Structure formats: structure tokens, C-alpha cells
Amino acid sequence: MATNADEHKNQGERLLAVLRSLQRDTVPSLVRVNEDEDLSLIDIALLQTLDHDRAPFPGDPTLKELAAVLGRSTSRTSRLVDRLVRRGLVERYEDGADRRVRRVRLADGGHAVLGRIARTRVEAQSELWTHLTAEELESVVGAMELLAAAARRMRSERDARGRPE
């Protein structure tokens, strides 16, 4: 009889295989957007981190906070931000309370890029969903709702610990 740890490991391996298959078959449309925008995955991660309705930090992040969220050094994150500033995708600005502090926010160009990426993802998913029966679609949507709820709980726990990961 399998232990809970064995079952969890088996389910994790099964999920990994499913995600790899899903990505392999749907990623080409996203790659086209990235080629048009000439963005790396870390560029997109940074833009998405700045595109928040509830950030993992109060207000716009400092460079150090942004680096912590991305799991990068401050110097690497600074170079990344500089490149995106030159492209008009993000902005650096002085903190109103402390002029020594520089904060980072999404610029209009960054909002536009994220909008194009989101539309492409939705189009790819919508096409994929046309290959599902109504019952299968209901199952997928229910599972996605469960994943979204789990992600919110995970983020709340991180926020409670005061660690913007």
C-alpha cells in the first residue's frame, strides 16, 4: 500500500507530465508574442510582478524588494530594470517620503505588452477549449478554480510571514 508521501510524489510526477505536454502543445503561440516583443521569461515575470492589484509589498516595490520577489540579485535586477526602462516598459521614480529610495512601476508600454500577452494566452486557451466536451470543460474550470484558490492561500501565507516571494 502506498504511503501518503508516495502518493503525493506520484501525483506530482503525473502533474509534471501533464503540464509539460500542455506547454509543449500550446506554447508556440506565446513564443510568437515573445519574439515580437523580444522579451525573456524573466522580463515577463518582472512585468507581471509589477502589474498588481495587490502586490506582495505595499505600493510599488524598491529595487531590492523586486529582486527578492524575482529571486535575483539586486545588481542583476537593476540591469534588467534599466533595460526595460529604456524600452519604455517600466519606470523608476523617487519615493515621495524618502528621496533616497527609488521605486519601480509598470509604464504604459508595459501594460500594453502584458495586455497583448494575455490576449494571446486567452486565444490559445480558447482554441484548446474548443476541443473539450461541455463536461470536460466544466471539470477543467472547476480544477482551475481550485488552483486559483490554493494560489491565493499560498500568497496570503507568504504575506502573513512578511516575505514577498
Report yes or no on whether pTM surpasses 0.75: no
What's CA 49's distance to the chain center, in Å?
6
User: For position 29, what pLDDT does the model report?
Assistant: 59
| Mean pLDDT score of the chain | 83
pLDDT tens, position by position, 87-126: 999 999 988 888 888 899 999 999 999 998 888 878 877 8
For 131, the 3-state DSSP assignment is coil
pLDDT tens, position by position, 58-79: 678 899 989 988 899 999 999 9
Helix, strand, coil percent values for the chain (each to nearest 5): 70, 5, 25
- Which pLDDT band holds residue 85 (cuts at 50, 70, 90)? very high
- Which pLDDT band holds residue 54 (cuts at 50, 70, 90)? low
Q: Tell me the three cell numbers of residue 157.
A: 501565507
Q: Which residues contact 124 (CB under 8 A, 6 or more apart)?
A: 26, 29, 30
